[in-house]
Amino acid sequence: MFHSTFWKVIVLGVLWLARNEISAVSPWMWWFAIVVVITAGFVDLGLIGGTAWIDRYAGVVPGLLKGPGESSKEKEGSGD
């Protein structure tokens, strides 16, 4: 959560410095802001992928906790 706010604050800071004159901000500051945004994008992709991976395997856990014969009994009884 912190990283999402952090890169937005950096970009807003660069834009705030450049509000009067674009040449007031050094090229290094622009590159730093671009690198932060790209890195934050990869971190967000990692978080989304990690969450999807956890959700996928968290759905398997209830079946493992029920035991081998209990899941088939539920399927047979649900047709009534």
Mean pLDDT of 6-32: 79
CB-CB contact of 75 with 35 (8 Å) = no
CB-CB contact of 2 with 8 (8 Å) = no
pLDDT, residue 71, reads 54
pTM here is 0.56
Cβ neighbour number for residue 7 with a 10 Å cutoff? 19
| Number of domains the chain is built from | 1
Residues of the domain holding 20: 2-77
Pick the closest to residue 15 from 31, 30, 1 (CA basis): 30
Instruction: Give the percent of the chain with pLDDT over 90.
Output: 0
pLDDT at residue 1 is higher than 80:
no
Q: Mind listing the pLDDT tens digit for each residue in 39-68?
A: 888 888 888 888 888 888 777 777 777 766
Confidence at 14, pLDDT banded by 50, 70, 90:
confident
Indicate if the alpha-carbon torsion angle 22, 24, 28, 29 is positive or negative.
Answer: negative
